[in-house]
A and B are shown apart, each in its own frame.
Chain A
Amino acid sequence: MNENIPLALEARKITKRFPGVVANNRVDFSLKKGEIHGLLGENGAGKSTLMNVIYGLYSADEGELFIDGEMVEINNPHDAIDLQIGMVHQHFMLVPVFSVTENIILGAEVMKGTTLDLNKARQDITRLSEGYGLKVDPRAIIEEIPVGVQQRVEILKALYRDANILVFDEPTAVLTPQEADDLFRIMRQLTEQGVSIVFITHKLREVMDVADRITVMRRGEVVGTTTPQEIDKRGLAEMMVGREVILEVEKDPASPAEPVLQVMNLSVNDERGMGIVHDISFEVRRGEILGIAGVQGNGQTEVVEALTGLRSPASGEFYLNGKEMPYGNPRKLIEAGLSHIPEDRQRHGLVMSYSVADNMVLCTYYESPFAKGLQRNKQAVLENAEKLIADFDVRTPGPMVHAGKLSGGNQQKVIVARELSRPVQLLLANQPTRGLDVGSIEYIHKRIIEERDNGAAVLFISAELDEIMSLADRIAVMYQGKIVSTLQVDQVTKAELGLLMAGSEV
């Protein structure tokens, strides 16, 4: 990019401390007018902290902010909005029961006397959305529209307030690949209209695809700023993690033995009694990884819930090591050798208000040595935690810290430690690397392959094609509640898999 383009935003020597950590240490960051600036870093590297300082959600302990070359003070989101800064939050800041219009005008309402002028607001929004190619129905209720469209509403919310600096905080974390591509198109279009964009992510491919410049952060400090032309993915990953990273998963060919999990004619209904999984059968063998590929919402979650006892199937049966398993009895399944890494680690994987140590014995707390009769043996729980923290490299201030205080990657490690510290017959891993940084992903992949090589059967669910292709030995594609195809991983290309996931024949 041209060196002479003026800066829309500059942050100089920003320092922000939280009790016990320096989240941002003398961070310098600049955003040129009309560019997309990728801000890359692992979870906990300080990207979101920096942007929250810029948006006025946190106040910096030290440092200066400049907008269009002038020094400014931003103490709350109101100041940021006044300075035409908008933020698209990772967890959307939308009221689910409100309409699109109501969400957009909230805090900047159009009035006719004392009454909200929703008609005028709707017209404004329609004009705005057509101008930027962000199609939305202003009357639609947020909770009834797809996530991708909700994100457009978030963007429109900022544009409605005349934002010309837009911060996207991990915007693709909740999107399907198609929706993500759509978002990138929108981002480019916005920069053409003069908007400057900060794009926070930890996905290498995305910054390489879409960013004009890339700033990498690690442990609260800026490692460097570069461009996609000057660096490749491997180099970026090294900057991010601080050491060499293996992007490709290294594994030996599988040597499958007898089946561990056999699923026969499984059908599952949703809460309203509508069929969501239709009569599927498959098996997973000892020493292999079966990947289930599919766009989210095609029944994968329900299959996992049925197999882990969290949801009773409508019909069908499943066998673990040849024994029929009961419905809806998680403890029986756990005792039979099932390990489960759930999709949503905060809701189903951990009790956030429990200590790391207690979370590590959630499945075994009632057994020796963690319990003696009715009494718990806290000493044993603590020793177990200390051992697992060391073995699985969980970065925590201590075993008694609440699980909710850890970063996403370390929370996932707590779950992995708990689930793999028992003898594993079948490992059920549902999106185990979602939202994690490169270092943690690498680690979890390695662990899963280790389990396979140690003789466990692994059922692995992911919405990311790259991940499925590199980790699985066999792939079952789910579409609209059915397994449409089961393939050896070396007999299929990514493009074919994409087509199968979209429901077409190859």
Chain B
Amino acid sequence: MDRSTFWKGFFRQQRPLIILGSIVVIVILYFYLTTPVITEAVLASAVRHATPLVLGAMCGLLGERAGIINIGIEGQMLLSAFIGFLVNAWSGNLLLAVFAGVAAGAVLGLLLAFMSVTLKIDQIIGGTVINIIAVGLTGYFYQAGLTTEGKLAPIALGKLAEIPIIGRPLFNNPPITYATIVLVFVVHYVLFYTRWGLRTRAVGEHPKAADTLGVNVYKIRYINVILGGAIAGLAGAFLTLEAVGSFERLMTNGRGFVALAVMIFGRWTPLGSWGAALLFGVTSAIQTQIQFAGVIDIPHQFIGMLPYLLTIIVLAGMVGKSRPPAADGIPYEKE
């Protein structure tokens, strides 16, 4: 992809997302005119629901763009959420706790890279190992009744936060949500505009070609998977330190896997993933609103299914033929 052709390709590839997104935007505008308060609440909640998903998706796509499939995002998030929570409970320092969560994710990323790049273990098994480790460790060390010293609070960005519709969702958020929005653009820039990104994508598509030009395939894979782990760690920190304020067993609740769906729907691009994550976020937020309002008399379990149902429909029907990086999941062996 050349940059000029990149955007052309981007919009062509993202057609399902753009169509779906446009419909959602129209619906939102309609509701904003009738019930502005609830609509803004739904949107703000959508952005926050989207945060761990897009972070997880970026973890996944950094790995896959370099040729490493990461299905351990769920585990990376869960363990990071737990570590972040523990560090906060012990130290009372939120910032330190966030860094601890990010570091925990990075360490699991290193483990995945070691397994899949150096040991050349099947990457699906490597990711499963990480998921099992995370469930095991967090389950074993979990102590009921441990509480944290508060959680990260929203910061309103002055006048920006007063803009109708988008003001509250975008400019009145806690720090990790802001960081996520910035990260989306940073990762996009790195992947498509820098030397590192070009080499990463080459390694994910045709590692041998990169190798013959003197690019260190193993180094690129290691670093991308570790960076991805750190980003998943941030998602974990978001869950305990920003969204909930405490840790519960299995609290990631499948977000790591939904993130993979988000990544595929977003065609392995940060911006596309953000769009897809927002779409899921909107569904989740609407689902909550429906449950609160009790307008529809159906069991809440069915309403709770909504986001997951959307995942299935989107992946099965809307995505169409999507093309992952050609060397995705294939260990590289030098001759």
**Chain A residues near B (Cβ < 8 Å):** 52, 55, 57-58, 76-78, 81, 87, 89, 93-99, 101-103, 105-109, 111, 114-116, 118, 139, 141, 157
Residues in B neighbouring A108, C-beta threshold 8 A: 213
CB pair A77–B214 under 8 Å, yes or no, is yes
User: Are B4 and A89 in contact, with the CB atoms below 8 A?
Assistant: no
Q: Would A99 and B199 be within 8 Å (CB), given that A77-B214, A107-B214 are in contact?
A: no
Partner among A58, A81, A116 whose Cβ is within 8 Å of the Cβ of B335: A58
Report how far A94 CA is from B206 CA in the complex, Å: 7
CB distance from A79 to the nearest CB of B (A): 9
A96 to B215, CA, bound (A): 17
B208–A95 contact, CB under 8 A?
A: no
Known: A106-B199, A114-B194, A115-B193. A99 touches B2 (CB 8 A): yes
B1 touches A93 (CB 8 A): no
- Contact between A77 and B205, CB atoms less than 8 A apart: no
Closest B residue to A108 by beta carbon equals B213
B326 beta carbon closer than 8 Å to chain A: yes
* 16 more CB-based (< 8 A) A-B contacts, given A77-B212, A93-B206: A55-B212, A57-B212, A77-B211, A89-B212, A95-B205, A96-B205, A97-B1, A97-B205, A97-B326, A98-B1, A105-B198, A106-B199, A107-B214, A114-B195, A116-B193, A157-B213
8 A Cβ contacts from B178-201 to A? 193-195, 198-199, 201
Interface-central residue, B3, B4, B201, B205, by most chain A CB under 10 Å? B3
Interface residue ranges, B against A (CB under 8 Å): 1-5, 193-195, 198-199, 201-202, 205-206, 208-215, 326, 335
A94, A98, A99, A116: which contacts B194 (Cβ < 8 A)? A116
Contact A116 B198 (CB under 8 A): yes
B208 close to A106 (CB less than 8 A): no
Interchain Cβ contacts within 8 Å, total number: 82
Please tell me which one of the listed residues B193, B205, B208, B212 contacts residue A98 in the complex, with CB atoms under 8 A apart. Answer: B205
Kindly identify which residue among B3, B215, B335 contacts A106, using a CB–CB cutoff of 8 Å: B215
- Whether A109 touches B335, Cβ cut-off 8 Å, given contacts A93-B209, A93-B212, A101-B2, is no
| B210 and A96 within 8 A (CB) | no
> Which residue of chain A lies nearest to B214 when distances are taken between CB atoms in the complex?
A78
A296 to B193, CA, bound (A): 38
Query: B318 → chain A, closest Cβ, in Å?
Result: 21
Contacts of A89 in B (CB 8 A): 212
A-B contact pairs, 7 of them (CB 8 A): A93-B213, A96-B206, A97-B326, A109-B195, A116-B198, A139-B2, A141-B5
Q: Chain B residues near A81: list those with CB within 8 A.
A: 213-214
Give chain B residues whose Cβ lies under 8 Å from the Cβ of A105: 198
Point out the residues of chain A lying under 8 angstroms from B214, CB to CB: 76-78, 81, 107
List, in ascending order, chain A residues with CB within 8 A of B335's CB: 52, 57-58
- State the Cβ distance, A463 to closest chain B Cβ, in Å: 26
Query: Which residues in B have their C-beta under 8 angstroms from that of A78?
Result: 214
Q: Which residues on B sit within 8 Å (CB–CB) of A102? A: 1-2, 198, 202
In the complex formed, the residue of B with least CB distance to A100 is B2
CB distance from B238 to the nearest CB of A (A): 28
Q: Tell me which residues across on chain A come within 8 A of B201, comparing CB atoms.
A: 95, 98
- Closest A residue to B196 by beta carbon equals A114
Q: Which residue of B lies closest to A104 (CB)?
A: B213
DSSP class of B's interface residues: helix, strand, loop or mixed? helix
- With contact pairs A96-B326, A97-B1, A116-B193 given, residues A106 and B205 touching in the complex (Cβ less than 8 Å): no
Asked if B209 and A115 make an inter-chain contact with CB atoms under 8 angstroms apart, the answer reads no
Minimum distance in angstroms from B98 CB to a CB of chain A:
26
Establish whether residues A107 and B210, one from each chain, have CB atoms under 8 Å apart when the complex forms.
yes
Q: Are A93 and B208 in contact (CB under 8 A)?
A: yes
CB of B202 within 8 A of CB of A95, answer yes
User: Which B residues are CB-close (under 8 A) to A93?
Assistant: 206, 208-209, 212-213
Residue of B nearest to A109 (CB): B195
Contact A106 B1, CB 8 Å, known A58-B335, A95-B209: no
Q: Which residues of B contact A95 (CB under 8 A)?
A: 201-202, 205-206, 209-210
How far, in whole Å, are A77 and B206 apart by their CA atoms in the complex? 16
A139 with B5, Cβ < 8 A, contacts A98-B201, A109-B195 known: yes
List residues of chain A with CB within 8 A of the CB of B194: 114-116
Cα-based distance from A281 to B215 in the complex (angstroms): 53
Q: Are B5 and A99 in contact (CB under 8 A)?
A: yes
Q: Hey, which chain B residues are within 8 Å of A107, CB to CB?
A: 199, 210, 213-215
Q: Which chain A residue shows the least CB distance to B206?
A: A95
Bound Cα distance from A107 to B215, whole angstroms: 6
Q: Using CB atoms, name the residue of chain A closest to B211.
A: A77
Residue ID in chain B nearest A58 by CB atoms: B335
Residues of A within 8 A of B193 (CB): 114-116
Q: Are A106 and B198 in contact (CB under 8 A)?
A: yes
Question: Nearest-CB distance from A481 to chain B (Å)?
Answer: 26
Task: Determine how close the nearest CB of chain A comes to the CB of B306; give it in whole angstroms.
Answer: 35
The distance in angstroms between the C-alpha atoms of A96 and B202, with both chains bound, is 10
Query: In the complex the two chains form, what is the Cα distance from A114 to B193 in whole Å?
Result: 8
Q: Sorted from nearest, which 7 A-B pairs have the closest CB atoms?
A: A107-B213, A78-B214, A93-B209, A99-B2, A95-B205, A109-B195, A95-B206
- Cα distance A97–B203 when bound, in Å? 12
Pairwise interchain contact A109-B1, C-beta atoms closer than 8 A: no
Contact A106 B2 (CB under 8 A): no
Given contacts A96-B326, A109-B198, A116-B198, contact A77 B213 (CB under 8 A): yes
CB distance from A322 to the nearest CB of B (A): 42
Distance between Cα atoms of A58 and B195 in the complex (Å): 27
A95 to B327, CA, bound (A): 11
How far apart are the CA atoms of A111 and B212 in the complex, in Å?
A: 21
* CB nearest to B6 among chain A residues: A99
- Bound-state Cα–Cα, A87 to B211, Å: 13
* Chain B neighbourhood of A106, CB < 8 A: 198-199, 202, 209-210, 213, 215
**What residues of chain A lie closer than 8 Å to B208, measured between beta carbons?**
93
In the complex, how many angstroms separate the beta carbon of B267 from the nearest chain A beta carbon? 12
Closest to B323 in A: A97
For B1, what are the chain A residues with a Cβ–Cβ distance below 8 Å? 97-99, 102, 141
B5 contacts across to A, CB distance below 8 A: 99, 139, 141
Tell me which residues across on chain B come within 8 A of A139, comparing CB atoms. Answer: 2, 4-5
A55, A87, A107: residue with the most chain B Cβ atoms closer than 10 Å: A107
CB contacts (< 8 Å) of B213 on chain A: these are: 77, 81, 93, 106-108, 157
Q: What's the Cα separation between A99 and B1 when bound, in Å?
A: 6
Alpha-carbon distance A157/B335, docked complex (angstroms): 22
How far, in whole Å, are A95 and B201 apart by their CA atoms in the complex? 9
CB-CB under 8 A from A109, the residues of chain B are: 195, 198
> How far in angstroms is the closest Cβ of chain B from A341?
29
Residues of A within 8 A of B202 (CB): 95, 98, 102, 106
Give Cα A97 to B209, complex, Å.
13
- Rounded to whole angstroms, the CA-CA distance of A396 and B195 in the bound complex is 45
Contact of A111 among B195, B206, B209, B210 (CB under 8 A): B195
Report the Cα distance A78→B215, complex, angstroms: 8
User: What separation, in Å, do the CA atoms of A99 and B5 have in the docked complex?
Assistant: 9
